[in-house]
């Protein structure tokens, strides 16, 4: 059956870890949207018109609500449909997830940016920040060793919001990352990158042009993804 309900619009950028977490949650909840791929150095006027902040992702609901934070997009869609129980029974995983996500988006992201792009911060290299970022990664590794995933045996909000950032860290120097004593975290990341959910979140889209036909994401709903 063709679903002709009006879609929210998602302004996205494939490689942005914030946009990735939003797409992962939209996929998990089976929420179709019109995806508009943004080129960050040439943001479309339609994005600037709805969001002066103009970071991606931005989601505009059919009712015209503008959601400008990736985590809020995750919660918006999961609160409507959460078949994989990423929020936990009675949202029991929400508070512990938010605690970890706050550390990811705060200190860890701060060190990740300086490790990955030291020249942007007038640093000769990013090695001190790599060491500092590992404090968070060590904690994640311990949690995965104990639980299987970050908070339980199966992925939840915390895993899916944080994995795109750990991926970015790992890809900065894959050889170095693979040599660290973080075997649980390394296996968790490999599993994430091989998952059907991640692969479905990562197709390539041409930059959006206002005149083009809408691109629907995902192209069909797959609720059995894990």
Q: Does 55 bind ligand GSH (CB under 6 A)?
A: yes
Q: Select the span of 53-61, 177-185, 188-196, 214-222 touching ligand GSH (CB under 6 A).
A: 53-61
> CA 104, 38, 120 angle in degrees (round to 5)?
50
97: helix, coil or strand?
helix
Q: CB-wise, 13 or 108, nearer to ligand GSH? A: 13
The C-alpha atoms of residue 86 and residue 96 are separated, in whole angstroms, by 12
**Nearer CB in complex with ligand GSH: 9/144:** 9
CA of residue 39 relative to chain centroid, distance = 18
> Could you tell me which residues come within 8 angstroms of residue 211 by beta carbon, excluding any fewer than 6 positions away?
none
Single out the residue of 56, 87, 140, 225 in contact with ligand GSH (rule: CB under 6 A).
Answer: 56
Task: Decide whether 115 or 144 has the Cβ nearer to ligand GSH.
Answer: 115
User: Which range touches ligand GSH (CB under 6 A), out of 63-71, 106-114, 160-168, 181-189?
Assistant: 63-71
16 binds ligand GSH (CB under 6 A): yes
Return the range that interacts with ligand GSH (CB under 6 A); candidates 51-59, 77-85, 146-154, 165-173. 51-59
Task: Verify binding: residue 70, ligand GSH, rule CB under 6 A.
Answer: yes
Instruction: Give the Cα separation of 103 and 214 in Å (integer).
Output: 36
Give dist(CA 171, CA 217) in Å, integer.
26
Applying the rule CB under 6 A, the residues between 17 and 36 that interact with ligand GSH are 18
Least Cβ distance, residue 22 to ligand GSH (angstroms): 7
Task: Please list the residues that pair with 12 across neighbouring strands.
Answer: 37
- Number of C-beta neighbours around residue 154 at 10 A: 13
Judged by beta carbon, residue 116 or residue 152, the one nearer ligand GSH is 116
Residue 5 to residue 103: CA distance in whole angstroms: 37
- CB of 57 closer than 8 Å to CB of 19: yes
Which residues form the interface with ligand GSH (CB under 6 A)?
A: 13, 16, 18, 40, 55-57, 69-71
């Amino acid at each position: 059956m063709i679903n002709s309900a009006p879609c929210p619009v998602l302004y996205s950028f494939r490689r942005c870890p914030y946009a990735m977490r939003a797409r992962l949650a939209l996929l998990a909840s089976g929420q179709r949207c019109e995806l508009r791929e943004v080129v960050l150095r040439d943001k479309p006027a339609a994005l600037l018109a709805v969001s002066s902040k103009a970071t991606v992702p931005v989601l505009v609901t059919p009712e015209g609500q503008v959601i400008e934070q990736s985590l809020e997009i995750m919660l918006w869609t999961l609160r409507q449909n959460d078949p994989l129980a990423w929020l936990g029974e009675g949202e029991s995983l929400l508070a512990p997830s938010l605690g970890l996500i706050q550390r990811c988006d705060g200190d860890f992201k701060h060190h990740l940016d300086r490790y990955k792009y030291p020249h942007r911060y007038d640093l000769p290299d990013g090695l001190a920040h790599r060491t500092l970022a590992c404090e968070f990664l060590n904690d994640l590794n311990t949690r995965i060793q104990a639980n299987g995933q970050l908070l339980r045996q199966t992925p939840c909000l915390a895993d899916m919001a944080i994995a795109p950032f750990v991926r970015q860290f790992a890809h900065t120097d894959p050889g170095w990352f693979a040599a660290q004593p973080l075997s649980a975290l390394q296996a968790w990341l490999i599993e994430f990158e091989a998952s059907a959910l991640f692969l479905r979140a990562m197709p390539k889209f041409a930059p959006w042009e206002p005149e083009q036909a809408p691109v629907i994401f995902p192209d069909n709903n797959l609720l059995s993804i894990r």
